[in-house]
């Protein structure tokens, strides 16, 4: 069974956030505000999203 896709869009700035949160945003492949990236819907990606849920908007496929 293949995992679905998850679309992650940064909606709030990471300026002034903790270093782990900034690094998580970068690890997700997001480089700028309002950028959308696509990842497979895996527990690892979901964990990263949970760490920065207040900065991003998520849509599932």
CA 40 distance to own-chain centroid:
12
Instruction: Report pLDDT for 61.
Output: 85
**Structure token digits, residue 22:** 């900034």
**Number of separate domains in the chain:** 1
pLDDT tens, residue by residue, 11-44: 999 999 999 999 999 999 999 999 999 999 999 9
Contact status, residue 30 vs residue 23, Cβ threshold 8 Å: no
**Structure token digits, residue 25:** 């945003």
Residues 6+ apart with CB under 8 A from 41: 3, 4, 5, 6, 60, 61
pTM: 0.91
Domain ranges, residue 39: 5-60
Instruction: Report pLDDT for 55.
Output: 98
Instruction: Report the C-alpha gap between 5 and 23 in whole angstroms.
Output: 22
- The CATH number of the domain holding residue 54 is 3.30.1390.20
């Amino acid at each position: 069974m293949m995992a679905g896709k998850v679309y992650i869009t940064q909606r709030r700035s990471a300026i002034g956030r903790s270093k782990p949160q900034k690094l998580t945003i970068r690890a997700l492949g997001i480089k700028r505000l309002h950028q959308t990236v696509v990842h497979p819907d895996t527990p690892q990606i979901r964990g990263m999203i949970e760490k920065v849920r207040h900065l991003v908007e998520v849509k599932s496929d």
